[in-house]
Amino acid sequence: MRPNSWGGVGVRKSADLRYYRKYGGELVMNQYVSGIIEDLRKKNPGEPEFIQAATEVLESLSVVVDKDPKYQKYGILERIVEPERSIIFRVPWQDDKGQIHVNRGYRVQFNSAIGPYKGGIRFAPSVNLSVMKFLGFEQTFKNSLTSLPMGGGKGGSDFDPRGKSEAEVMRFCQSFMNELFRHIGPDTDVPAGDLGVGAREIGFMFGQYKRLINRFEGVFTGKGFNWGGSRMRPEATGFGATYFLQEMLKTKNQSLEGKTVAVSGFGNVAWGVVQKVGQLGGKVVTISGPDGFIYDKDGVVGAEKVEYMREMRASGRDRAQDYADKFGVEFHAGKRPWGVKCDIAMPCATQNEVDENDAKALVKSGCKCLCEVANMPLTLEAMKVIIESGILYAPGKAANAGGVGCSGLEMTQNSMRMHWASEEVDQKLHGIMVSIHDLCRQASEEYYGKSDNYVGGANIAGFKKVADAMIDQGVI
């Protein structure tokens, strides 16, 4: 095995990627697990994102099933990959010219074993059932890792808010809620924002929900602070991921001080990462958009640059080039930032944004750590390259749990009818991320004999809490 400069260890073939058992020199996955994966592919044709996410988790659970046969006895894997409920509905709305449009709405309520369904709502043309199931499945384990009582779910629509007037967005959100309201509630399902759904959209949906049920209750998180929201929510995912990264670096006697970081995206998540990396002594040198990426050798640091990222988001133009034009830095049209020389990579944009070639470019550039901040930003092929290179690697379900962790804190504040100061929320968020990091390492040590397998550790730690609750509650 080949160690890297920070003490990570590479792997032969795909042994640590697939977490197979070794019998007589052959790498063999648990037969029960392989059967579940095969059945899943047959039952869900045309759902590549969901199959990818489920396969990655199930393969890592082979060692758990080997060690404790109760999960097979109670049919946990068969049940945990099947959503408890998938809701699909039409969303008719009228544009400013009076023309009628129809989009498709979704809410996948994946698992409620440890609490009410919890997960965001995404508005983007790429939304379909496969994406919603993948996100809801990942959310189940992510929420489990926070140790807060939240199940997993996800929703959204193929509606694109870009280029729409505020009145059109409001009419769409109200129509969307006219169906969704009957499926959610503070003790049933608590949605939040996601890609394409910010404070404005949450406000429109919450207002319509309140109008329909004639009650003011904490059915959404990510609300405006003046009407029940929490401090720190917009920054929480980026702050939390950086706290997780900080804990990883500590295990190698490293810190963020003086490190160069490549980041993708420029939304709330990237904005949070940029701020916290800077506060901890690092320097983010890239951000990106659909049009390409910028390279700022001096770093996206200082109040003016950080504030301009907010202006870029609010503009609705969705152009990273605006930053390059404003500050006179390099812009690389149509490209992604993963060939830039960096110490740390933090993908913050969307699923499968880092492919095999991007991963090879990161390794070649000398990157020593990759921390996923988006949901499943690496393809399986890219994941294999990163693991085999020995790069220190954190999966999104652990590293980006700060967002839903802060949402859980918002739910607590709503129940208590009170607000916490920013400093108190930040302190609690930091504690949640340290705890998640420790859970991942403990599970990795128990099942793999080494503590730095964050991918397997996160999957196992998240799975066991949910699975044990499902056993306790019977066959439902």
Active site residues: 154
Cβ contact 71:77 at 8 Å: yes
Instruction: Round to whole Å and give the CA distance between 300 and 22.
Output: 47
Instruction: Round to whole Å and give the CA distance between 29 and 197.
Output: 40
Residue with tokens 């792997």: 11
Is the torsion defined by CA of 39, 44, 46, 52 positive or negative? negative
Instruction: Round to whole Å and give the CA distance between 184 and 176.
Output: 13
Instruction: Round to whole Å and give the CA distance between 6 and 368.
Output: 7
Instruction: Round to whole Å and give the CA distance between 161 and 125.
Output: 9
> What angle, 0 to 180 degrees and rounded to 10, lies between the N-to-C axes of helices 31-43 and 48-60?
170
Cβ contact 438:458 at 8 Å: no
- Residue 88 bridge partners (DSSP): 106
Which candidate, 236, 242, 238, places its Cα nearest to that of 221? 236
In which region does residue 76 sit, left (phi positive, over 0), alpha (psi from -120 to 50) or beta (all else)?
alpha
Q: What is the DSSP string of 428-441?
A: HHHHHHHHHHHHHH
Instruction: Round to whole Å and give the CA distance between 52 and 9.
Output: 25
Instruction: Round to whole Å and give the CA distance between 369 and 261.
Output: 10
Instruction: Round to whole Å and give the CA distance between 424 and 102.
Output: 43
Instruction: List CB contacts of 285: < 8 A, sequence separation 6 or more.
Output: 260, 261, 262, 295, 296, 297, 299, 300, 340, 342
State how far the alpha carbon of 70 is from the alpha carbons of 31, 32, 84, 245, 457, in Å. 15, 12, 21, 34, 19
Cβ contact 134:376 at 8 Å: yes
Q: What is the DSSP letter of 74?
A: T
